[in-house]
């Protein structure tokens, strides 16, 4: 007995494995739910639901605004509007999948936009390269993300509280640095590069596409992504499985901070200004997009495709409203209703799934 | 042994009743249209020289975009623009609903460009942020009329119409100097409650005020900045009163935030100072009549309506009839008179509801 190797001692005996497998098969048979619910709970199915919602919006758009909606120019307008919040939403997906939340994304983006457009930064960028402004924004974003991550992971402060504090502090710091004025970008190459297009597709949209692709690969095809799902699903189990949960959590917030830095570069390019008023209420838009996309607020399951579809749904809604000269206030009410409907549907689906 | 005391029938009747009550509440209590309120702030009863310019010409599509109307002045801007457009049957008016989100307002202008409108009237939430997209519109052949918050590039608009922000400050400062001289105030404490500091127009107003005070050897002792809203006005005014136990003259940039400012004054029971306002709301006019306010400096909310008129003229290739020059001017700066109880009657019809 004492000569059994650790491998032999750890592996369950043959008959035990057989019992477990048989139990699994019969459990699968028992959960023969309504095919629709089963399909919807499958990742492809969840996204199909979103695609259908988007298709309905497109149909409404065409029905009410005809060619004005269905033109390439309008599609590009929608995509340009979606790009910035889209990048933030992709970062937010990681944090929420990892079991956290971040309320400070808008403020971080504002701070990054301000820091990268100060007279000092712009003068240095004129002398060296416009990339300096981009680096500054990314560094500021990652730095704020680091502060968030350390406070939450190592300081054991609840994510809601820590990021709430960052929201206030970052916005305040942005106002101090900018002296509450709007800072105009004078480095022409910066505006030219980010404001232009490549083969007809705006650079902003390309950045969004790259972020989405990168995010998908990171979440679904790397160890980092696997660890994120583990940490979000059950932190204690993840820790016991050997994952450094605290370090990983901090990394997630740094990643989101980086995403905010990218978004800051994009908003500076789009408006050619850095301002402490940028990024207003971005956190709500990002969280809404991520939630209706199918990522669970409690963590453990995340979908980049879902977040992208969520962002597109809200942006298309905004566009349809604009084309029809409708109230932004009515639209805000509609947004609230959509979020509730999406979450209710998700709850029904996951309740059936998770039932023992 | 059922513990339920309500039958299903009773529950569904209660449910239906609750639904009906909610619907009645919704219908009855959300209506906000006052009974025929007569003239609605923006409409100017003193019509200027009607000319052949007002005759119906080619139909032009005008796109109008402004910021979110979170205070009365902006609401008056929007409604005045709408009414002005309605007066002309050759204007096809497209109004994008107001937003403070620069990115969203940019996409509204992009939509106008895609729609190939004949002219755009734009009151940007931030002049610098919207300059780029206005430039794109101009490059696409669509003339842009810039209202109130100026763009950061002269190429971004065909014509700019705004109030005289610097002049407003000068008017207020000059009036303050007159008050000091009249009442022989030794060592006056002068306070200023500004609007949104991030906007260049606020900086211009403060500069005008400071320069005018310098001419009578005075300077601003206390300054706070609110955000043109009632809530921020009240908060900042309270701070100001705490900071200065005795004040002689207060200039509040904007009468909309002035509602909150005045509330703060009343709550603290302070009235030892001369209260000067700005913009010219109906509330301010009433306060001047009642003696609770010294004066207010006008900043007309009809400038968007003027912008619509200019847009129509430009799109129809006309000029301004009262000028010799054939084309519409590049920059029109409106006057900033001081309204006191002496000339109140003249300006009262032009006031706007907060």
Chain B closest-CA separation from residue A49 CA (Å)? 27
Residue of chain A with shortest Cα separation from B116: A68
Q: What is the pLDDT of residue B339?
A: 93
Instruction: Please report which confidence band the pLDDT of residue B71 belongs to, taking 50, 70 and 90 as the band edges.
Output: confident
Least confident of A64-68, A93-97, A351-355, B252-256: A351-355
Q: Which of A71, A80, A178 sits opposite B107 (nearest CB)?
A: A80
Find, among B199, B263, B268, B262, the residue nearest to B227 by Cα: B199
User: Which among B115, B152, B198 has CB closest to A68?
Assistant: B115
Over residues B248-283, the pLDDT tens digits come to: 999 999 999 999 999 999 888 888 999 999 999 999
Structure tokens at A274: 């850095």
Question: Nearest CB to A272: which of B96, B108, B132?
Answer: B132
Which CATH entry fits the domain spanning B165-298: 3.40.50.150, 1.10.8.60, 3.40.50.2300, 3.40.190.10? 3.40.50.2300
Cβ of B197 and A71 within 8 Å? no
Report the pLDDT value the prediction gives residue A36, as an integer from 0 to 100. 65
> Can you give the pTM of this predicted structure?
0.79
Quick check: B102 and A276 CB within 8 A? Answer: no
How far apart CA A242 and CA A245 sit, in angstroms, is 9
- Three-state DSSP string of chain A: CCCCCHHHHHCCCHHHHHHHHHHHHHHHHHCCCCHHHHHHHCHHHHHHHHHHHHHHHHHHHHHHHCHHHHCHHHHHHHHHHHHHHHHHHHHHHHHHHCCCCCCCHHHHHHHHHHHCCCHHHHHHHHHCCCHHHHHHHHHHHHHHHHHHHHHHHHCCCCHHHHHHHHHHHHHHHHHHHHCCCCEECCCHHHHHHHHCEECCEEHHHHHHHHHHHHHHHHHHHCHHHHHHHHHHHCHHHHHHCCCCHHHHHHHHHHHHHHHHHHHHHHHHHHHCEECCCCCCCHHHHHHHHHHHCCCCCCCCCCCHHHHHHHHHHHHHHHHHHHHCCCCHHHHHHHHHHHHHHHHHHHHHHHHHHHCC
Of B101, B110, B126, the CB nearest to A275: B126
pLDDT (0 to 100) of residue B325:
85
Mutate to test the interface with A, among B75, B111, B115, B149 (most CBs of A within 10 A): B111
Check A271 against B103: CB less than 8 A apart.
yes
Q: Is the pLDDT of residue A24 over 60?
A: yes
Pairs across A and B, CB distance < 8 A: 93
CB B302 within 8 A of CB B48: no
- For residue B106, the chain A residues in CB contact (below 8 A) are 270-271
Q: Which residues of A touch B131 (CB under 8 A)?
A: 272
Q: Same topology for domains B58-157+301-334 and B165-298, yes or no? A: yes
Q: Do A180 and B94 touch (CB under 8 A)?
A: no
Q: B344: closest CA among B304, B291, B306, B265?
A: B291
Query: Closest approach of chain B CAs to the CA of A95, in angstroms?
Result: 25
Selecting from A180, A277, A328 the residue whose C-beta is nearest the C-beta of B97 gives A328
Q: Do A328 and B129 touch (CB under 8 A)?
A: no
Nearest residue, CB atoms, A77 vs list B107, B152, B203: B107
Interchain CB distance below 8 Å, B111 and A191: no
Task: Calculate mean pLDDT across residues B77-88.
Answer: 91
Q: Any idea where the domains of chain B sit in the sequence?
A: 58-157+301-334, 165-298
Taking the CA atoms of residue A166, residue A169, residue A174 and residue A177 in that order, the dihedral angle to the nearest 10 degrees is -140
pLDDT at B42: 38
Q: Is the pLDDT of residue A11 over 70?
A: no
Angle between helical axes of B165-183 and B200-214 (0-180°, round to 10):
30
Percent of chain B with pLDDT strictly greater than 70 = 91
Which positions ≥6 away from B259 have C-beta within 8 Å?
A: B230, B233, B283, B354
- Summary mean pLDDT of chain A: 87
CA-to-CA distance for A326 and B229, rounded, in angstroms?
24
**Spatial CA neighbour of B265 closest among B237, B245, B239, B242:** B237
Please name the residue of chain A whose CA is at the shortest distance from the CA of residue B136: A195
pLDDT band of residue A298 (cuts 50, 70, 90) is confident
Whole-number Å distance between alpha carbons of B211 and A203: 46
Query: What is the rounded average pLDDT for all residues in chain B?
Result: 87
| Contact residues, chain A to chain B, C-beta under 8 Å | 68, 71, 73-74, 77-78, 80-81, 84, 178, 180-182, 184, 191, 195, 267, 270-273, 275-278, 280, 318-319, 321-323, 325-329
Tell me the ipTM for this assembly. Answer: 0.72
Whose CA is closest to A282, among A260, A265, A258? A260
**Chain segment B213-244, per-residue pLDDT in tens:** 999 999 999 999 998 988 889 999 998 998 88
Whether A305 shows a pLDDT value over 90: the answer reads: yes
Q: Which one of A81, A195, A204 would you mutate to disrupt binding with B, by most B Cβ within 10 Å of its Cβ?
A: A81
pLDDT tens by residue, B137-174: 999 999 999 999 999 999 999 999 999 999 999 999 99
The two beta strands, B295-298 and B274-279, are: parallel
Query: Searching chain B, which residue's CA lies closest to the CA of residue A274?
Result: B129
The structure tokens 């029904």 sit at A348
Residue B2: predicted pLDDT:
52
Three-class SS state of B198: coil
Inter-chain touch A180–B132, beta carbons under 8 Å = no
Least confident span in A290-294, A331-335, A340-344, B46-50: B46-50
The predicted pLDDT at position B324 comes to 86
Give the minimum alpha-carbon distance from B347 to chain A in angstroms, rounded to a whole number. 32
Strand, coil or helix: what is B274? Answer: strand
Which residue ranges form the domains of chain A, and what is each CATH number?
48-59+71-351 (1.10.3470)
Whether domain B58-157+301-334 has CATH 3.40.50.300: the reply is no
Nearest by CB: A180 against B95, B114, B198: B198
Q: How far is A68 from chain B (nearest CA, A)?
A: 7
Is residue B55 scored above 60 in pLDDT? yes
Residues A191, B225: C-beta atoms closer than 8 Å: no
Q: Write the residue in B97, B99, B128 that is nearest to A273 by C-beta.
A: B128
For B97-118, the pLDDT digits (tens) are 788 889 999 999 999 999 999 9
pLDDT tens digits, A170-201: 999 998 999 878 888 888 888 888 888 888 89
What is the rounded average pLDDT of the residues A104-121? 94
B167 in helix, strand or coil?
Answer: helix
DSSP, res B248: S
Give the whole-angstrom CA distance, residue A321 versus residue A334: 11
- CA–CA distance, A14 with A263 (Å, rounded to integer): 54
pLDDT of residue A135: 95
Q: How confident is the model at residue B286 (pLDDT cuts 50, 70, 90)?
A: very high
Element (H, E) at B199: none
Which residues of chain B form beta strands (DSSP E)? 60-65, 91-96, 119-122, 144-147, 159-163, 190-194, 222-225, 249-252, 274-279, 295-298, 331-334, 338-339
Q: Which of B156, B198, B201 to mutate to test the interface with A (most CBs of A within 10 A)?
A: B198
CA gap B252, B210 in Å, rounded: 14
């Amino acid at each position: 007995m004492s000569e059994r190797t650790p491998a032999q001692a750890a592996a369950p005996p043959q008959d035990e494995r057989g019992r477990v497998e048989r139990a699994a098969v019969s459990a699968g048979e028992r959960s023969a739910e309504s095919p629709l619910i089963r399909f919807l709970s499958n990742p492809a199915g969840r996204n199909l639901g979103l695609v259908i919602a988007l298709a309905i919006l497109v149909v409404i758009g065409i029905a009410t605004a005809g060619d004005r909606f269905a033109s390439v120019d309008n599609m590009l307008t929608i995509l340009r509007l979606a790009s910035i919040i889209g990048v933030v939403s992709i970062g937010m997906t990681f944090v929420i999948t990892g079991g956290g939340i971040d309320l400070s994304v808008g403020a971080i983006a504002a701070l990054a936009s301000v820091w990268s457009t100060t007279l000092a930064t712009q003068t240095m960028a004129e002398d060296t390269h416009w990339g300096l402004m981009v680096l500054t924004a990314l560094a500021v974003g990652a730095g704020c993300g680091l502060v968030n991550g350390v406070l939450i992971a190592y300081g054991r402060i609840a994510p809601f509280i820590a990021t709430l504090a960052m929201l206030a502090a970052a916005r305040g710091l942005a106002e101090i640095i900018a002296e509450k004025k709007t800072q105009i970008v004078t480095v022409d190459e910066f505006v030219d590069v980010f404001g232009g297009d490549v083969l007809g597709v705006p650079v902003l949209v390309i950045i969004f596409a790259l972020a989405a692709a990168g995010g998908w690969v990171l979440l679904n095809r790397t160890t980092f992504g696997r660890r994120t799902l583990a940490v979000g699903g059950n932190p204690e189990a993840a820790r016991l499985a050997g994952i450094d949960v605290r370090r990983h959590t901090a990394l997630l917030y740094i990643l989101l901070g980086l995403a905010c830095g990218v978004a800051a570069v994009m908003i500076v390019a789009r408006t050619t200004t850095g301002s402490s008023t940028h990024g207003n209420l971005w956190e709500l838009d990002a969280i809404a997009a991520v939630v209706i996309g199918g990522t669970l607020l409690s963590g453990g399951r995340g979908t980049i495709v879902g977040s992208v579809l969520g962002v597109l749904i809200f942006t298309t809604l905004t566009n349809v409203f604009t084309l029809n000269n409708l109230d932004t206030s009515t639209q805000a009410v509609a947004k609230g209703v959509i979020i509730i409907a999406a979450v209710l549907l998700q709850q029904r689906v996951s309740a059936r799934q998770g039932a023992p | 042994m059922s513990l339920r005391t309500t039958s299903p029938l009773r529950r569904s009747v209660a449910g239906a009743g609750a639904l009906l009550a909610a619907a009645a509440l919704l219908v009855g209590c959300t209506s906000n249209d006052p009974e025929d309120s007569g003239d609605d702030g923006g409409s100017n009863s003193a019509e200027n020289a009607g000319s052949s310019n007002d005759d119906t010409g080619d139909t032009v599509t005008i796109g109008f975009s402004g910021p979110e109307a979170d205070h009365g002045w902006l609401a008056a801007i929007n409604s005045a623009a709408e009414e002005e457009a309605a007066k002309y049957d050759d204007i096809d008016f497209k109004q994008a609903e107001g937003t403070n989100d620069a990115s969203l307002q940019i996409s509204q202008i992009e939509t106008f460009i895609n729609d190939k409108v004949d002219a755009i009237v734009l009151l940007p939430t931030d002049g610098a942020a919207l300059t780029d997209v206005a430039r794109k519109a101009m490059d696409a052949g669509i003339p842009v009329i810039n209202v109130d918050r100026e763009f950061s590039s002269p190429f971004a608009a065909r014509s700019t119409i705004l109030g005289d922000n610097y002049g407003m400050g000068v008017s207020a400062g000059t009036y303050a100097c007159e008050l000091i001289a009249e009442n022989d105030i030794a060592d006056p404490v002068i306070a200023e409650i500004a609007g949104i500091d991030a906007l260049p127009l606020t900086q211009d107003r403060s500069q005008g005020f400071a320069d005018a005070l310098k001419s009578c050897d005075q300077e601003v002792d206390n300054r706070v900045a609110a955000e043109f809203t009632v809530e921020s006005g009240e908060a900042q005014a309270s701070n100001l009163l705490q900071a200065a136990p005795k004040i002689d003259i207060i200039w509040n940039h904007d009468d909309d935030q002035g509602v909150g400012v005045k509330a703060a004054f009343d709550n603290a029971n302070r009235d030892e100072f001369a209260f000067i306002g700005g913009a010219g709301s109906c509330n301010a006019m009433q306060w001047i009549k009642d003696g609770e306010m010294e004066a207010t400096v006008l900043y007309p909310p009809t400038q968007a309506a003027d912008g619509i008129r200019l847009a129509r003229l430009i799109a129809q290739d006309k000029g301004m009839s009262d000028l010799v020059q054939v084309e519409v001017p590049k920059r029109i700066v409106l006057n900033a008179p001081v309204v006191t109880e002496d000339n109140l009657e003249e300006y009262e019809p032009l006031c706007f509801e907060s």
